[in-house]
Amino acid sequence: MSACGIAAVMSEAGRRLSGDTITAAMAVMRERTNGLGGGFAGYGIYPDWADHYAFHLIYGSEAAKEETEAYLRQQFVVDHAEPVPTRRTDGISNEPLLWRYFLRAPAERLNGALTEDDYVVRAVMHVNGHIADAFVGSSGKNMGIFKGVGYPEDISRFFRLEEYQGYTWTGHGRFPTNSVSWWGGAHPFGLLGWSVVHNGEISSYGINKRYLANFGYECNLFTDTEVLAYLFDLLVRRHSLGFDNVADVLCARFWDEIERLPEERRQLAQALRITYGGALVNGPFGIVVGYDRGMVGLTDRIKLRPLVAGRDNDLLFLASEECAIRAICPSPETVWAPKAGEPVVGELKG
């Protein structure tokens, strides 16, 4: 079964779907997980606060909460703060303090030197790296990440996911093999509007981590998947690469394959491999990346982890197993196995 389960569904027409939908897709893959981590990302879930950055915070102590809130009030305009709504759930225990904040970046603090998004990234790095027992679970606009230690369907019930409506949902069930199990280390991993669910292992984590440090990203969440969220932010938001080019960076072709490409394509592939050598991701992986306008599915260059896609009308599905797709859409119009290293992209229309 290759461990871990991932699933995603989006309406390219922007229809908002209940959180129950992604929960059903994850529940059918329970055997891929061992109860040590589950989580979900939803997009379009905060329409009343759509222009605000929604920070989901995980605190290990009241002192961490007090220090973080003082920092947020200093750096942002905090228009609303509240505990993340939860319910008592069998199978979920030792939960940390879970709060969410709806923030605006004050223009006078940017001084023309930073974009709002860069300002937010800097704040996330500060909290994660410099405030003990405080971690930012998500920090995008009109989206949120809900994750913890437990089976995915239990995490969903704990966070009352059925009460949310979103146009894109991703889900993850964890089977950790070489990293600790804790609330902040569950998937998805997020930064701004990016969220990543991952099945596999990033054996290039050390190289990727050092490469990202050159651009101001600090990895503090004790698991390899964190680098993927930052790599997508760097390559797409900051360097304006398209997803096809991002795939050629993360899942770089072998050099002998590059040599056989047509001339124009060969020059581009060579340039990407040379320029972004430190962003090359080694190891088996299947990922789904959510972002503000859609989602992307991608596997490693030789597809050592499974990924299945499906479509039905305006809906795009991605999952580790076909059964997860059919659990929420029994008769999709089409189901296929994406090729290794080639992205499957869903985008909002209009």
- pLDDT tens column, 163-175: 999 999 999 999 8
pLDDT beyond 90 at 181: no
Average pLDDT over residues 135-157: 97
pLDDT at 282: 94
Average pLDDT over residues 21-47: 96
Q: Tell me the CATH number at 289.
A: 3.60.20.10
Average pLDDT over residues 178-193: 90
- 251 classed as catalytic: no
Say if residues 95 and 89 touch (Cβ distance below 8 Å).
Answer: no
E strand segments, the chain: 5-11, 17-18, 38-43, 53-59, 77-83, 97-104, 134-138, 143-148, 165-166, 168-173, 189-191, 194-200, 285-291, 294-299, 308-312, 315-319, 334-336, 344-347
pLDDT at 1: 53
Identity at 43, one-letter amino acid code: Y
Residue in 4, 219, 251, 329 annotated catalytic:
4
* Tokens representing residue 36 in the block: 């040590």
For 115, residues 6+ apart whose C-beta sits below 8 A from its C-beta are none
Residues above pLDDT 90, as percent of the chain? 91
pLDDT at 206: 95
- Whole-model pTM? 0.96
pLDDT beyond 90 at 219: yes
Give the chain's domain count: 1
Range of the domain at 66: 5-347
For 1, residues 6+ apart whose C-beta sits below 8 A from its C-beta are 31, 32
Task: Identify the band that residue 74 occupies on the pLDDT scale cut at 50, 70 and 90.
Answer: very high
Average pLDDT over residues 265-282: 95
Identity at 314, one-letter amino acid code: D
pLDDT beyond 90 at 179: no
Average pLDDT over residues 110-128: 92
Average pLDDT over residues 52-68: 98
* Tokens representing residue 216 in the block: 């101001």
